[in-house]
């Protein structure tokens, strides 16, 4: 870190990472490569998890009918459910990783004081 740079506030990093977008706080905190990877994981996970909304809409449309066949519904929507589940997994990984990064940035900031 160069002497003319102002140290980053660890609370800001943590807030951005955990409340806004995992990875962006890490990027702001100075870990550019790790933050970019975390943000990409969070974006991919968020987009993939949107497929679960499609499944929920399809489920809502089927519940109006008198006969609901669970097996055929799962067969027709299995791929979307798998994509959504893996998206939620990616999002969870990025969130936990961002939390660990926030802790590391806060610890490093505290040791400099």
User: Is 75 or 68 the better-scoring residue by pLDDT?
Assistant: 75
pLDDT of 75 strictly over 70? yes
pLDDT of 5 strictly over 90? no
Taking a C-beta distance cutoff of 8 angstroms, is the pair 68, 15 a contact?
no
pTM of the model: 0.82
pLDDT (0 to 100) of residue 32:
94
User: Is 62 or 59 the better-scoring residue by pLDDT?
Assistant: 59
Contact partners, residue 37, CB within 8 Å, separation at least 6: 23
């Amino acid at each position: 870190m160069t002497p003319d740079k102002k140290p980053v506030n660890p609370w800001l990093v943590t807030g951005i990472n955990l409340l806004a977008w995992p990875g962006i706080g890490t990027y702001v905190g100075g870990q550019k490569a790790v933050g970019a990877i975390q943000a990409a994981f969070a974006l991919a996970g968020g987009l993939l998890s949107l497929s679960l909304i499609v499944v929920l809409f399809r489920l809502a449309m089927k519940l109006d009918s008198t006969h609901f066949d669970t097996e055929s519904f799962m067969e027709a929507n299995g791929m979307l459910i798998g994509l959504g589940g893996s998206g939620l997994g990616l999002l969870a990984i990025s969130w936990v990783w961002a939390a660990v990064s926030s802790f590391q940035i806060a610890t490093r900031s505290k040791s400099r004081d």
